[in-house]
Amino acid sequence: MSLYFISFFAGAVSFLSPCVLPLVPGYISFICGTTLEGLEEQNKSFILKNTLLFAIGFSIVFISLGATATFFGNLLFNYSKIFTVIVGVIIIFFSLNMIGLLQLRLLNQEFRYHFKNYIKKPHIALLIGVGFGFGWSPCIGPILGSILAFASLETTLTKGITLLTIYSLGLGVPFVLSGVYLTRFLIFSKSMRLHIIRIQKISGYILLLTGVLIITGKLQSLGFFILKYLPFLGKLG
């Protein structure tokens, strides 16, 4: 349960990352085939449909990566103790990047896909979502990489897929809501930009703690801590 909570939280933090939050209005106007001003005149159901398809598109990418990570993790089951330590070290590595103690250019950039034709057919929004899923991966790499590391430790493919599905929901739900409630989102994003770095560092410290707990075999204690203060999560699975 603690991993599911962390996965959703990680998805939400990914939404607040510098390569996602400030550019959300641009993404939404692009996939709806109009300008930012034109979005205010668009039917909300049209915006909802396109943003939802876009979110499904990048979710397909992340879930596929999660399934792949779990598959290879199971192949290394006989070396589970060593593999668990390696995963913990990888998560700590990503956390140090988020905190700012370690800076790798590859983990802080975004690969963008440019589509010349604006979106008039809904299924194109799905395809662009897939493209942006790959494009965002390097930029949100420290967070996504950590969740993929968790997925590699799962014993079944279903659990790995579930983990990345929850991560995708953490990123996708606020994205879709931002499109439907664009005016409110613009006010929210303006205030949140001042706190992006702070949020990223706090998330980095949480990942750092998680990595240490994985290496020491005490990750379960984090689950107990979360359930102590959020007992309703125990009813979810």
pLDDT at 3 over 90: no
pLDDT at 134: 77
- Residue 16 sits at the vertex; the CA angle it makes with 169 and 124, to the nearest 5 degrees, is 55
Enumerate the domain spans of the chain. 2-227
Are 106 and 141 within 8 A, CB to CB? yes
In this prediction, residues 61-89 reach a mean pLDDT of: 80
Using DSSP, how many helices (H) and how many strands (E) does the chain show? 11, 0
pLDDT at 166: 94
Model pTM? 0.70
Q: What is the rounded CA–CA span in Å between residue 185 and residue 177?
A: 8
**Burial of residue 188, with CB atoms counted within 10 A of its CB: 0-12 exposed, 13-18 middle, 19 or more buried:** middle
pLDDT at 212: 84
pLDDT at 114 over 50: no
Q: What is the pLDDT of residues 33-60, one digit of tens each?
A: 776 666 767 778 888 888 999 999 999 9
Q: What is the rounded CA–CA span in Å between residue 232 and residue 234?
A: 5
pLDDT at 144 over 50: yes
Percent of the chain with pLDDT over 90: 12
